[in-house]
Structure 1
């Protein structure tokens, strides 16, 4: 498989047992071969997502000194200005900072464990200048958590496991929505050598649910043949990829999908893109034991989710 498959989830939600088995088998094949798939028929309405883009666009258009009131860094809530993140470092590759700015929100319901809450369940930060953003994002977070949970149920079916095999470790999960703005070339000027909108990397958690816009400087995935290919763009779809934690959980049966977002291209100097990227993880305290053979290929030692994820977040943070 050298291309990212498009899978219609209506067959999972509305079909019979055979339909659901076919969907699960296609998911298994996609995650085994490339670590990516595109889903349609997901049931998440497009209108609220476009309103998030509009509200976030108004926030990003504010003067920098206003946005700075909400400044944060990787793993925190609020505005991540340009220059604080370089995803290539996750692979051990020093690269210039990623060409983006981000507004981040996520799980904020405390567990009662002060150390866990300070790291994974921080209060969200909402800009007073754009009050519409909070209700829209809160609604979107709920929809994304429901979809991500169902994707993990499909993943369990794909491996012939109990439906709650993965979700039973996600009773109080951590998750983050990054609203990424990729400014146009006409504003940035030429990128530095080796600089991307997001450098080559894999994600860190279980599944990522990406709502993206089509563009010249868009998403590319790394194929089994060793080359980069443009991810397919399908209207009203989500691009799904496996993260490092889920790949490890399956004993490397599934690939953690390596990807990048290309720098702005001279052929489209005014192209500005805005992506909604939902990163789903699991309970921070969960101990993840990989599925060895015959389901998986490698029986990795157990890891605590929070420690596994923090190591990767620290690697991409520029100080």
Structure 2
């Protein structure tokens, strides 16, 4: 049974699911002779596919709770889900990808005019090699990792546009027509989906459906456009090299929109092995972040993941090159000053929270400062 099963009062139904999975695994092991439980655990590791229309269009609270339980179970067992029928039109996603692609094709001089400068702002263009995502919080260790194995990607970071303290960096309209309007609309669309998914999580954790509403309404989020340029095999062959190193995300949820190239891998919490999160057309990959894990006393998993190179295309007998890859990540966060402490339904009587309270800003800025500096 998963170790989190004893840490939250909402988990009796999860215990039954995990127990049935274990029984299925044992029977599979018996029927396959020498196959081990660890091997079968890998076979049964699946990111669940959730039909979110069953929640959005439910005619009763009981119907909503059924989908809510599936979502919470996915975050409990794996930390990731695929969401389909989520209400965001495909044309909206395609338009965001188109404008993102146009931005990254701008001359590097134009993009560097919008360079990322401050972890508290967390806005602007990040050139290839500037970021090195990792679980380490040691600035010196991260510096060594960046020098040895930088992340081969570039990104554009966009926050709430009405913030009076930190402003977004926008390209000139003549350089990137429609970029700003498209991204602001997409930011709002993603926030609205985030609210709905957090409502479903609240129900799944036996909280009031609106529990999180006033804790996420400031839209203290980050829209990250990502471009992974083509790269030769030899540049990815070094120790620890990846397009984006293994890491967890910082906030409540991440909504990830993938292209068809692939490369995202998720760590199996039971075996430690990384397994592909293969793109499924029309779906959004959603994972729980660190602050949601802290809020839930680790009932909901903030799972390690990374981006590796997809299959290479041969350009000679000895060399290959990866295809370009695009993705868009919407990092959902609680309000800037929200205090993140153990939820009442995620602590057994007499139990103690695993983590001390922390504010959203202090946690996220600390992680960003270590990652970029």
Normalising by structure 2, report the TM-score: 0.77
Q: CA RMSD in A?
A: 2.2
TM-aligned CA distance change 1:271 to 1:313, over 3 Å: same
> How do residues 71-110 of structure 1 correspond to structure 2 at under 5 angstroms?
71-73=115-117, 75=119, 76-90=122-136, 94=142, 95=145, 96-110=149-163
Q: Give the stretch that moved more between structures: 199-208 or 47-56.
A: 47-56
Deviation at 1:266, TM superposition (A): 2.8
Q: Deviations over 1:139-190 (max 9, x none)?
A: 1001000000111100100011011212221231310110000111249944
Query: Using a 3 Å threshold, how does the CA distance of structure 1 residues 150 and 69 change in structure 2: closer, same or farther?
Result: same
SS of 1:211 mapped into structure 2: strand
In structure 2, which of residues 292, 305, 310 is the aligned counterpart of residue 259 of structure 1? 305
**Map 1:5-20 → 2, pairs under 5 A:** 5-17=48-60, 18-20=62-64
CA distance in 2, matches of 1:109, 1:161: 31
Gaps of 5+ in 1: 111-116
Match for 1:37 among 78, 81, 85? 81
Aligned pairs, number:
308
Could you list the structure 1 runs, at least 4 aligned residues long, displaced by more than 6 angstroms after superposition.
Answer: none
1:150 to 193, 196, 201: 196
Q: Who is 2:347 aligned against?
A: 293
* Aligned-partner Cα distance in 1 for 2:215–2:350: 19
- Is 1:279 matched up with 2:331? yes
Structure 1 residue 56: Cα displacement: 2.0
Give the deviation of 1:298 after TM superposition.
5.2
Larger radius of gyration: 2
Point out where structure 2 has 5 or more consecutive residues left out of the alignment.
Answer: 1-43, 314-319
- Residue aligning to 1:195: 241
Range that drifts further, 27-36 or 165-174: 165-174
Offset at residue 255 of structure 1 (A): 0.6
Once residues 107 and 295 of structure 1 are traced to their aligned partners in structure 2, the CA distance between those partners, rounded to angstroms, is 40
Q: 1:295/1:54 Cα in 2 relative to 1: closer, same or farther (>3 Å)?
A: farther
TM-score (norm 1): 0.89
Corresponding residue number in structure 1 for 2:111: 67
Aligned to 1:114: none
- Tell me, yes or no, if the aligned pair for 1:74 and 1:313 is still in contact at 8 Å: no
Q: Structure 1 283/190 Cα, relative in aligned 2: closer, same or farther at 3 Å?
A: closer
Aligned pair partner of 1:57 in 101, 117, 123: 101
**SS of equivalent to 1:109:** coil
Alpha-carbon shift at residue 312 of structure 1 (Å)? 1.1
Tell me the distance in 2 between the aligned counterparts of 1:107 and 1:316: 21
